[in-house]
């Protein structure tokens, strides 16, 4: 499972109260999933988990204090790629096991 962070652009208006982020996933096995996050306007980023190889599309909507919704801003699609190498292995241990 990959951990992904999204960074939000600044709101386009001063009266934005909340932000809605909808994430749509198409996984490598062709299954699909969707999730919606409601974020406070001061939150500049969000995180989510996805399988490597998933194709993700994101829609951002700003909502003002009166409940008016902006048009969607679409980002993606992008493919979640595993670029994180494993950690270095531990040291090889040696033991003398005999003598001739």
Q: Which of 65, 61, 4, 54 is nearest to 24 (CA)?
A: 54
> How many angstroms separate the CA atoms of 35 and 46, rounded?
13
Mean of pLDDT over the chain: 96
> What confidence score (pLDDT) does residue 89 get?
96
Place of tokens 């809605």: 20
Question: What pLDDT, in 10s, does the model give residues 44-76?
Answer: 999 999 999 999 999 999 999 999 999 999 999
What domains sit in the chain, N to C, each tagged with a CATH number?
Answer: 2-79 (2.60.40.10)
> What confidence score (pLDDT) does residue 54 get?
97
């Amino acid at each position: 499972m990959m951990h992904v962070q999204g960074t939000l652009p600044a709101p386009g208006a001063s009266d934005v109260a909340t932000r809605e982020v909808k994430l749509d996933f198409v996984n490598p096995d062709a299954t699909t999933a969707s999730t919606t996050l409601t974020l406070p306007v001061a939150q500049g980023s969000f995180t989510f988990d996805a399988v490597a190889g998933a194709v993700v599309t994101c829609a951002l909507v700003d909502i003002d204090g009166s409940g008016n919704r902006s048009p969607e801003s679409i980002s993606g699609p992008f493919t979640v790629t595993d670029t994180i190498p494993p950690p270095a292995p531990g040291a090889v241990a040696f033991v003398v096991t005999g003598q001739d």
